[in-house]
Chain A
């Protein structure tokens, strides 16, 4: 028999007869695959195409010179006078907020005159330079991208740091690939004035001649730079941010594979059922001389075809899902990492390949076992009339041992350290636990049904008994369904526990972390990596407001430590009446680190920083500060959940020695005893004189923090929902095939006098039992997985210690939803069973 005929007989004809089965398989593949595609796409858009907006108008250079707190501008001259043919471009890089729309855009200050010499800056032609010179000494002249102004001469009020000022558009920057999104460009002098960075520049870009080699130029340049000044390949900051985002994206991608794993269970289940249903066809074909391998291949080809088709469906579906996901992701990236704009969503050849490979591979792998089973069908048995459903004995003992072995391996893997900053073995451990649970599921179903059939009968009469018997009787099929749903439930439970624990930990932390009554920051703040400043005069004015007991200043700088971004913050000591707020996980013996901080070059670091850089109490940190490299001794490691990059705290006065800049980026205000919060707040706002500095009460900032937290995990929940949807949808589909498969049984029951209502109850009961069993197995597995997530994966990827916490309400809710959803999934199959004509069904036999 030719392969084509075989394929038609065995695959296509049954398919046309039961398009429902095909749809189910396609649904499982498409949704699971779509989740993977969506996350890959959204991740690319939100973080992958991350191109730091400070690269606006940067052109292609070779090196960049940076320093914590800014590069002293005389270095620009020193570099330009070097006897080498270099191109030296100093820049101010900050952010401005368009006052009307609250849109935060990069603010770039370039030397408009010197830029004329840079051949690699096509954006600034001779005419732009000539325009620039005309307005060169006008501190209000700006050049903007098309999105920010209609015409030259437009007036644009910008909020920069803590002051709003109206600038005049002197030119529209040509649309250029160098600018991702809108930007404001100023002459460097005006930009220094606007940002209060007189005397310093944020970055000096250097272009070296092609000949000579990177290392040679690096050493030549290094020679003339002070120790604290950093010399890196251009885009080092972008690269560091990218590295930081890589871990985040990696974890996200793993999460998206959960949906796929659940999908794989369902493909397996659907294919198993369909193989069983095609036993007569297989028998006939085998009897006609088709080899076992041909049958195996036919089923694998079917799976591959399904995989292919499902993946193609997954592409538009994934893109649609990505649109929603990208918004959630960019919120997270902005809040936790760096200010960025999501790039455009684009279905690339890469994403198509990803979808196809993942879809086809998963369906072929899931089809392997059922296909093998099909090839082993003996022709005579298969063709016999009045056959019973083919059942494979579940080998309880062997499965139990294997499950135990897998669980043990999982436990061992959980102890292993991270690999390359990624908790690869942590995820392996989770996978092993899932596999172990899957092996254990048939046993659980078997024992539960055996033990429970009696009580079920008492509880729900004959339908209960029949339901439990039927589930126990078709163990393989049932347990796959249960395992699929249980995996989804376990994922949901574990992530629920992890996020719930995390949330509770952060809540508790914020309560101790925020002892002041009011917190102030510039309104221009727009992201985790930004530290706009408040004028020192405002801080002084606030300190004099009646009712204010103390003002604690904080100044944050973005620095690079060992090639990774980190936040360096200088804090003033707490007023003596206020108890110390930081909680330490390790300190030097019998010392209060915060009280010791002002007495010298001491620092305390946050837990994520300590984990990332393997820093311990008592060790020394060499921090680049301005032109110097200064050593600080670590007095302790404190709990912190606000900054993933890591936080280094030093005393305000100590840092002033190295980076003299009295402008704070944040203020904490303590009220005098008995002072009224609302009144004092109004008085403070009046003392500030405008709305460019925002004040938040202790409670508001906590609420804001939790909102960011919840937004951050919204994507996680969305992925969970997809997994559950895949599982529940799969259950509905599987039940339909089961019903079709058991029509003879239902026919007999009807002949024996069962009413339609009883049949419906029976099926709903089965569905409910599946939901119940899956919830039980899922909960157990979920708790184990949550331990892995909290103590292994989270710790290794982000370095946070999370206090374990049971989010009872969330768990109860989600379990309830799953249970109800499973029963609802039984409704349609039940209606189908009731509608069957018993006579017709019996006659078939």
Chain B
């Protein structure tokens, strides 16, 4: 896993927060700790805040279904970006800027709802409390206990409340505790995932309430560093197969159109054993069918062909809802949405659901955090 640059997993890392690194935080970046090999993950400690690293996020996505067949996708993400490490006990003193994204793909109704939020810790407006296991930004929150995670998201016109039960232990991404970004110490992140979270709960949207069930995926990553200047964006996906296995892949796109050798992934079998996949181990290519966003005019490829010869795995990626673009006021826009999987594994048909993220297709928006 040594080739994976931190910040490639999620668009906001590189683009929004990189801006901040250049200005307010550039000098103070020295004060933050770098992600170095040999890191020993410990749970539940590592579920929570690592304020010694400048950037950190908790990322939940999932596919859900109501008994009547009404399908949903959701995203709830908490970001933390260090601004200052200066000591200060005043609650309004800004050590970190907390951002969060909340989205609901109402696939059954063909609607995509999303909202973003920016806060400081303040007198308790946002933050992480290991004692209660809470990560929150206003009234959006995740509560993590060893056996269960609870999510709550309240948007202007939708809300959900979900219970997530981990079916497998966390998967440490990368090697030797780090997900290496480039040659050289510290160009890396600490990164783990919970790849199969059995999910149940309720969703309220458009004046209706749905009881839903499904599976979710969680990523938690923390590091100090930034994206390489010659990279323009990436395509990332997570898949939960019906046979109980999961797959995560991403490819880094360079400005010259080539694919960065740092692209990588991982495969987790039904028993929870994970396997590193390097850029040489898989092919992930757009297969026509682009969707142009009316808001940003960005053209996203919505159909992909993926093959992992090593695993005798090949499948097509399609989406049940085309408009799943997260357009932000505080950061660049990106497409993040629920996907369907259909293909073959070891010669037998295989199916699954997942989430696809595509960044760098739209013009970067003006970041709220300083450049």
Contacts and interface: CB of A to CB of B under 8 A. Distances in A.
A binds B: yes
A133 B125 contact: no
A126 B366 contact: yes
Interface string A782-823: 000000000000000000000000000000000000000000
Nearest to A73: B123
B154 A117 contact: no
B368 A83 contact: no
A83 B152 contact: yes
A133 B368 contact: yes
B74 to A, nearest CB: 16
A601 interface: no
A649 B365 CA distance: 57
Which of A84, A86, A88, A134 is packed against the most chain B CB atoms within 10 Å? A134
B208 to A, nearest CB: 15
B83 A136 contact: yes
B369 A76 contact: no
B123 A134 contact: no
A113 B94 contact: yes
Interface string A81-122: 111111010000000000000000000000101101100000
B24 A76 contact: no
B166 to A, nearest CB: 25
What does DSSP make chain B's interface, helix, strand, loop or mixed?
Answer: loop
Contacts of A137: 83-84, 86, 88, 93-94
B138 interface: yes
Interface in B88-146: 88, 90-94, 97, 117-120, 122-125, 136, 138-139, 141
Interface string B254-297: 00000000000000000000000000000000000000000000
Interface string A193-232: 1000010000000000100000000000000000000000
B152 A129 contact: no
B352 interface: no
Given A85-B156, A133-B368, A188-B92, A116 B330 contact: yes
Contacts of A117: 117-119
Contacts of A86: 139
Given A137-B84, A137-B93, A130 B152 contact: no
B119 A114 contact: yes
B368 to A, nearest CB: 5
A83 B161 CA distance: 10
A111 B93 contact: no
B123 A113 contact: no
Given A80-B139, A81-B139, A134 B94 contact: no
Contacts of B155: 85
A89 to B, nearest CB: 11
- The dominant DSSP class at the A interface is helix
Contact count band on B: 35 or more
A130 B90 contact: no
A607 interface: no
Given A77-B122, A83-B139, A116-B329, A126 B368 contact: yes
What size tier do the contact residues of chain A reach? 20 to 34
Given A116-B368, A130-B367, A84 B91 contact: no
A152 to B, nearest CB: 15
B124 A74 contact: yes
Contact of A130 (B124, B157, B368): B368
A168 interface: no
B139 A134 contact: no
B23 interface: yes
Interface in B148-167: 152, 154-157, 159
Contact of A114 (B125, B136, B159, B367): B125
A529 interface: no
A465 B138 CA distance: 93
Interface string B329-371: 1100000000000000000000000000000000001111111
Interface of B: 23-24, 83-84, 86, 88, 90-94, 97, 117-120, 122-125, 136, 138-139, 141, 152, 154-157, 159, 329-330, 365-371
14 contacts: A73-B122, A80-B119, A80-B125, A83-B152, A83-B159, A85-B154, A111-B92, A113-B94, A126-B330, A129-B330, A133-B370, A137-B83, A187-B92, A189-B94
Given A74-B124, A113-B94, A117-B118, 7 more contacts: A81-B124, A81-B138, A113-B118, A117-B117, A133-B24, A133-B370, A188-B92
